[in-house]
Amino acid sequence: MRRTDRLFDLIQILRDGRLHRAQDLAERLEVSTRTVWRDMATLMASGLPVEGERGVGYILRAPITLPPMVLTADEMEALRLGVRLVAEGADPGLGRAARNLAAKIAAVAPQHATLPDEDELFVFPGDQAQRAAPHLPTIRAAIRTHERLTITYLDLDGRQTHRDIRPLQLEFWGRVWTLAAWCEARGDFRSFRVDRILALEPTGETFPDEPGRRLADYRARSSPDD
């Protein structure tokens, strides 16, 4: 089971609001207790209201739900389209989450506002997005937990370089995924095409929230002057 899928399954288990021992979670997901410890640390670091510790158990203190809302026809159409695009896109973790979301929406939506059938919308992510797909779950997890990554990158001239980076933001340009990051070697922000990343490894090291190297600083630099 991919780590992204496992984290999603953990959230679904914890939604009942009960205390769950790490050993029980490990048996249910068919992984080691140590793996559950690491996954729970990731969930807590991401800001989810999960409390607990080793030897005691874990509990979700607040429900992860949306308040009741009424959507217009255009808003429902936008939601339908967005969910289908993600479901059929190149990221397997987000694809599975989108399909689960589609089922939940269909269960509560009026009959005329259900999600589209298979033949109503086709999505062609393209070769670049397909090459980027294996890296996306790791990058998204690293962005959430502020974990440094080591990448092997192929530049436009065909040269391979090795970089230690602080991942800040994923951006999708219709066909190409790019990763905005702080490059430790260059001492500056860089944008990497994810499909040109040949290898990617989490370092296990977190990076601090330093002024001048944050996502807000990257966005400020990228924004046109007023």
Q: Write down all domains in the chain, each with its CATH number in brackets.
A: 3-60 (1.10.10.10), 73-113 (no CATH), 129-222 (2.30.30.520)
Alpha-carbon distance values, 86 to 36, 91, 203 (Å): 27, 8, 28
Residue 81 to residue 89: CA distance in whole angstroms: 12
At 76-87, the pLDDT tens digits run: 777 877 787 777
Q: CA geometry: angle at 40 spanning 201 and 94, to 5°? A: 60
Q: Give strand ranges (E) for 45-187.
A: 50-53, 57-60, 147-154, 160-172, 177-183
At 45-55, the pLDDT tens digits run: 877 788 887 78
Residue 141 to residue 147: CA distance in whole angstroms: 8
Residue 42 to residue 4: CA distance in whole angstroms: 11
Evaluate if residue 57 carries a pLDDT over 80.
yes
Q: How confident is the model at residue 115 (pLDDT cuts 50, 70, 90)?
A: very low
Distance of CA 136 to the CA centre of its chain: 7
Structure tokens at 204: 């296990």
Residue 86 to residue 74: CA distance in whole angstroms: 18
Nearest to residue 185, comparing CAs of 135, 140, 145, 151?
A: 151
Evaluate if residue 193 carries a pLDDT over 90.
yes
Residue 121 to residue 8: CA distance in whole angstroms: 26
Q: What is the pLDDT of residue 68?
A: 67
How high is the mean pLDDT of the chain? 82
pTM recorded for the entire structure: 0.55
Using a 10 angstrom Cβ sphere, with 0-12 exposed, 13-18 middle and 19 or more buried, the burial of residue 207 is buried
Asked if 55 and 20 touch (Cβ cutoff 8 Å), the reply is no
Lowest mean pLDDT among 2-16, 35-49, 84-98, 172-186: 84-98
Asked if 201 and 221 touch (Cβ cutoff 8 Å), the reply is no
Q: What is the pLDDT of residue 221?
A: 85
Mean pLDDT, rounded, for 6-10: 84
Q: What is the pLDDT of residue 65?
A: 63
Q: CA geometry: angle at 95 spanning 115 and 197, to 5°? A: 145
The share of the chain scoring above pLDDT 90, in percent, equals 38
Alpha-carbon distance values, 197 to 19, 50, 75, 135, 175 (Å): 40, 33, 36, 8, 16
Nearest to residue 138, comparing CAs of 188, 208, 204?
A: 204
* Position 61, amino acid: R
Asked if 86 and 98 touch (Cβ cutoff 8 Å), the reply is yes
Asked if 50 and 42 touch (Cβ cutoff 8 Å), the reply is no
Q: What is the pLDDT of residue 118?
A: 46
* Position 113, amino acid: A
At 31-47, the pLDDT tens digits run: 999 999 988 888 888 77
The share of the chain scoring above pLDDT 70, in percent, equals 82
Q: What is the pLDDT of residue 89?
A: 65
